[in-house]
Amino acid sequence: MKQTLFTVISLCLPFLAFAQGMAPKSAGFEIMTNRQSGNCMACHDLPGVSGFTSNFAPPLQGVGSKWTVAELTQWVSDARKINPNTLMPPFGTTQGLTKVISDRAVLSPDQISQVVETLISWR
């Protein structure tokens, strides 16, 4: 019995170590990398995304130590209020936009909060 238990545990250890090394992606990260919602990686270099990098906009590594939760929320919701000349689209409003297909914002307030939780963790 002890030998069988030892064999089972020794066979499972590599899989357990692999599973521990895999960090689960946050809901905010999933939104940011989804081309149908945030698609932040189209313009920004994102930590944890390899194979595709963009230098159109600033990299997002370290934004959690540069900006507060309120500031990051404003950047994502409507960056035009921080920088009127920004090219970043407003994800939380359609106000002031022309040629919109729907009056619904790209991201809901809950989704914006999830994105900001991810951003603030990148220190």
| Confidence (pLDDT) at 5 | 38
CATH number of 38's domain: 1.10.760.10
Domain containing residue 33? 26-121
Is 65 part of a structural domain of the chain? Answer: yes
Is 41 part of a structural domain of the chain? Answer: yes
Is 21 part of a structural domain of the chain? Answer: no
Is 117 part of a structural domain of the chain? Answer: yes
With a cut of 70, which residues of the chain have pLDDT below it?
A: 1-24
pTM reported for the whole predicted model:
0.77
| Confidence (pLDDT) at 19 | 34
Is 57 part of a structural domain of the chain? Answer: yes
Tokens of 109: 């307030």
| Confidence (pLDDT) at 4 | 46
| Confidence (pLDDT) at 102 | 86
Is 102 part of a structural domain of the chain? Answer: yes
DSSP state of 41: G
Is 4 part of a structural domain of the chain? Answer: no
| Confidence (pLDDT) at 10 | 45
| DSSP E strands, the chain | none
Dist. CA 80–CA 74, nearest whole Å: 9
Task: Please tell me the total count of domains within the chain.
Answer: 1
